[in-house]
Amino acid sequence: MTTFERVKSIIVEVLGVDPEKVTPEASFRDDLEADSLDLVELIMAFEDAFREDYGQEIEISDEDAKDIRTVGDAVAYLDKLLKERGLA
């Protein structure tokens, strides 16, 4: 499963959105209608899922979370984090 596929499955589960809407360009707020609480839930879900997948603590700082505005931003951030740790 690619990072995008994993992120997409988490978004669909947490937000209950149509999988067709979850594209790399999709904005969490504008396209997926996520509010600030939804965004916090998503960040925590990403951390939990990737921790389970890779057996390592994955943490997305509040500062970094502010820059994650689209699905593609989340995928790029997580890919970078995994590469830095030698997991991808």
Q: What is the tens place of the pLDDT at every residue in 34-49?
A: 999 999 999 999 999 9
Averaged pLDDT for residues 48-74: 95
**Helices 36-54 and 3-15: angle between axes, nearest 10 degrees:** 130
Which residue in this structure is represented by tokens 């988490």?
10
Contacts of 69 (CB under 8 A, 6+ apart): 27, 28, 29
State the Cα–Cα distance between residues 12 and 18, nearest whole angstrom: 7
Q: Name the E strands within 1-88.
A: none
Full set of structural domains in the chain with CATH: 3-84 (1.10.1200.10)
Whether pLDDT at 88 is above 90: no
Residues labelled catalytic = 35
What pTM does this model have?
Answer: 0.93
User: What is the enclosing helix (H) or strand (E) of 46?
Assistant: helix 36-54
Residue-wise pLDDT for 7-21, tens only, equals 999 999 999 999 999
